[in-house]
Structure formats: structure tokens, C-alpha cells
Amino acid sequence: MPFHHLTLANGLQVLAETNPGALSVAVGFFVRTGSRDEQAGESGVSHFLEHMAFKGTKRRDALQVNRDFDRIGADNNAYTSEELTVYHATVLPEYLPQVFDVLADILRPALRDADFQTEKNVIKDEIARYEVRPEWLVYDISRQRYFGDHPLGRSILGTRESIDALTRQQMLDYFQRRYTSSNIVVSAAGNFEWNDLVALAEKHCGAWNGSNVPARDLCESPCRSGLEVIARDKFKQEYVMMWGPAPAANSPLRYAAEVLDSIIGDYTGSRLYWELVDPGLVESADFSYLDAEGAGAFLLSFTCSPENTASNLEIVAQVLRQVQTEGVTEEELRTAKTRLASREVRGHERTPRRMLSIGDDWIYLHQYRTLDDELAAIDAVDAAAIHQLLEKYPLRDFMTIALGPLSSL
């Protein structure tokens, strides 16, 4: 499938993979900004600004934004992470001009003061909802403990106090600093004409401010270890998260990390599944590779009855110790690579997933990668690559946070 790339005069990058056989088209605006880019006193502003984009523009109020998406049957959404804020939608091909218009428009929000004050309460309610969800709470606490002063340790949502203190002027300053065209990538995949997409980008985005954005500090995260138990009587189960260093998003070892992730902690057929989930020792268990610019982390988590926490930690330690000292088997490698390849192929068939992959690859790897590129990289992972990964990022001395009824472990 043909790939196209163009940089407008103001620095906005437009990427596209055209597929005449697709039945839809997906478009995403990737703003290279998130919680790691927030300055002192701005905690939570990236996510808050995402909300404000849907509250209206100079041309549309919030109702009109929603109606214009609805009229064309758009499947639209947005998300904010530590590093990106992404606005995206999928439509039938004939509605590409309309959906591009709406997406580009909301990236220039009005930031009306009345909407800003109202949405503060929405954000604080969202924070309150997450605080009573133990799986989110332990993730947020443990991530901040692990990364510490590193930019990746900053909260995406912020706190109720930081949201209360935030002013509209601070949000406007952040918007003007981070939402410049040179800091935005447009990605599209599906059934459309490249020249039509370029014309839409020129029409709707060509006049955007293109000033440069300061470079990020891309230092690796510190390696923290230790155990902390956080007592919360209101929760009936114990929620455990363990963090350790892993490759950055652009590391040659990232594919080995993804394969190891699958071998140790996939939701079915992994070592943690057979040791913890299948015997009924935990409600759930997971081992994930989290990649970012300049840094990465392995995150192991499980949820169980409080009385089983200590013994389950011993099992986890044994699993990690065995992988570290003995490596993985050829059968595990084959199974994990087949599993990852299958998911990659299935995802490639969906235009939204393909659009997101193209955008992510361009931002993190500065390149376009085909499905064949991904499958070849997965297939190239062997026992030697896993050994090299474990040598550089050993599975020991993880930082462990346990949240639940227990007061000690």
C-alpha cells in the first residue's frame, strides 16, 4: 500500500497510507505533548486541554461539535498520555472532508472562560472516580514513586488541587507553547486520495503557528527498588505493581522486550498465567513493556486476596529469577512471536489501528514501517536477543508497591 509524506510550510507533517480496498478512512492529529511537558503549576493541563477541545471553537459550540461528528457517523475519540495528545476519528470515505474540518477546528479551541470553569468540575470528578478504583490508584502512585522527579513520573490527570489552581491564562500559554503546527503530525489510513488529504491540510491547517517547541530531556529513568505497602482498608483485595527498567521506544531491543512481555505476562498462555492465574491464586496478573522517548519500564502487576500476597510475591520472584538465569525456551519464543504476529496482522486490517501505528512509528522512530517490517522484526527475535535484553535490563530489584488491606509484608 502506498505511503505518502509531506511537510507543510509551517512544519505540520502529513502522513498517509492509502488503501483502495478499505471500506473506511481514519484520521488522527498527534500533538507531541503530554504530562511530561508540563511546567510547575500546570499539572493536569494536557488532559484538561483535551477536554476543552470538545467544548467548542470560534465556529462551533460543544453541541455543534458533537452534532457534526454524529451527522457523518464518525467514530471519534481522543486520549492524553505522558507524551502525546491524540484526536482521531474514523468515517466512511466520502466524509473525509467533513471529519477533517471538525478535527482541525477543535485543535484550535475557543477556551471560553465559562466552559473552562465548568469543565474544572468535570476533571475533578474524573480524578475522584479514579481514586476509588484501586487498579488505577496503585498504578498512578507506583508510577510516580518509580519515576520520581523524572518527567514520566508526572500525573496525567493532575490533582484536584492543581486543577483548582489552574487558570485559563496558564492553559492558553500552554496551548500556544505546545500546539504549534511544527509539533503536530496528521496521520491517515484507508480509502482516500492523497492529494485530497494534502488539500484539506493546507486549507484547514496551513495558517497555524509554526514556531518551534523546546526539545525534551530524554534521560533514562532512575533504577529504583524496594517495597512499600500502602494500607487502604476500604479495598478488599491487594493490588501489587512492580516496576523495573526497560528499553526506550526507539531502542533496537524493543522487539525483544515485546516478546519477553508476551512470554512472561500475556493474559493467556504465559508464565504468570500458568503459575498464578490458572491455579486461581490471583484474580489477574500481567507483565507489560511500557516504552517512551528516552526511557522505558517493565511493569508487573497482580491482584489477589490479602492472605496470598506474600506467597504470590515469592512465586513472581521465582518466575523472574528463572527467566533471568535460564532464559526462555524455543517453544516459548515461537509461541510468543506467532501471537504477536497474529495480533499485528489483525490490527493492520483495521484502519483506526493502522492510522495510530503509522503516527506512533513516525513520532517515536522517525520512520514509516510496513506490516512486513513489523513481522520481520518480531521474527528476528531469538534467544540471543532475549539474553542481550536481560543483560542490559535484568529482571531483579524491581520496585514494588502493594495497596490494599495489608499494613505490612
Q: How confident is the model at residue 131 (pLDDT cuts 50, 70, 90)?
A: confident
pLDDT in tens, 326-369: 999 999 999 999 999 999 999 999 999 999 999 999 999 999 99
| Domain match, 67 and 122 both | yes
Q: Residue 52: phi, psi to the nearest 5? A: -65, -25
pLDDT in tens, 172-196: 999 999 999 999 999 999 999 999 9
Which pLDDT score is estimated for 221? 75
Q: Confirm whether 293 is domain-assigned.
A: yes
**Amino acid residing at 320:** L
Q: How confident is the model at residue 110 (pLDDT cuts 50, 70, 90)?
A: very high
Which pTM value belongs to this model? 0.94
pLDDT in tens, 286-297: 999 999 999 999
Is 90 exceeded by the pLDDT of residue 29?
Answer: yes
| Domain match, 137 and 179 both | yes
* Residues with Cβ within 8 Å of residue 17, at least 6 apart in sequence: 1, 2, 3, 4, 188, 189, 354, 355, 358, 368
Which pLDDT score is estimated for 222? 76
Q: Does 217 or 154 have the greater pLDDT score?
A: 154
Which pLDDT score is estimated for 307? 97
Q: Confirm whether 82 is domain-assigned.
A: yes
Residues 19-25: what's their mean pLDDT? 96
- Out of 205, 237, 263, pick the residue that ends a domain: 205
Residues 392-408: what's their mean pLDDT? 95
Q: Confirm whether 210 is domain-assigned.
A: no
| Domain match, 280 and 189 both | no
| Domain match, 173 and 307 both | no
| Among 110, 122, 117, CA closest to 55 | 110
Q: How confident is the model at residue 389 (pLDDT cuts 50, 70, 90)?
A: very high
| Domain match, 380 and 232 both | yes
| H or E stretch at 375 | helix 371-379
Domain that holds residue 194: 3-205
Within a 10 A sphere around the Cβ of 166, how many other Cβ atoms? 21
Q: Confirm whether 245 is domain-assigned.
A: yes
Q: Confirm whether 214 is domain-assigned.
A: no
Written as one string, the DSSP assignment of 56-83 is: BBSS-BHHHHHHHHHHTT-EEEEEE-SS
| H or E stretch at 118 | helix 113-131
Within a 10 A sphere around the Cβ of 311, how many other Cβ atoms? 11
* CATH number of the domain enclosing 67: 3.30.830.10
Is 90 exceeded by the pLDDT of residue 113?
Answer: yes
Structural domains in the chain (count): 2
Residue 109 DSSP one-character state = B
Q: What does the mean pLDDT of the chain come to?
A: 96
Is 90 exceeded by the pLDDT of residue 153?
Answer: yes
| Domain match, 71 and 151 both | yes
Q: Confirm whether 138 is domain-assigned.
A: yes
Q: How confident is the model at residue 220 (pLDDT cuts 50, 70, 90)?
A: confident
* Residues with Cβ within 8 Å of residue 246, at least 6 apart in sequence: 257, 289, 290, 291, 296, 297, 298, 393
Which pLDDT score is estimated for 84? 98
Residues 23-29: what's their mean pLDDT? 98
| Among 256, 299, 340, 324, CA closest to 147 | 299
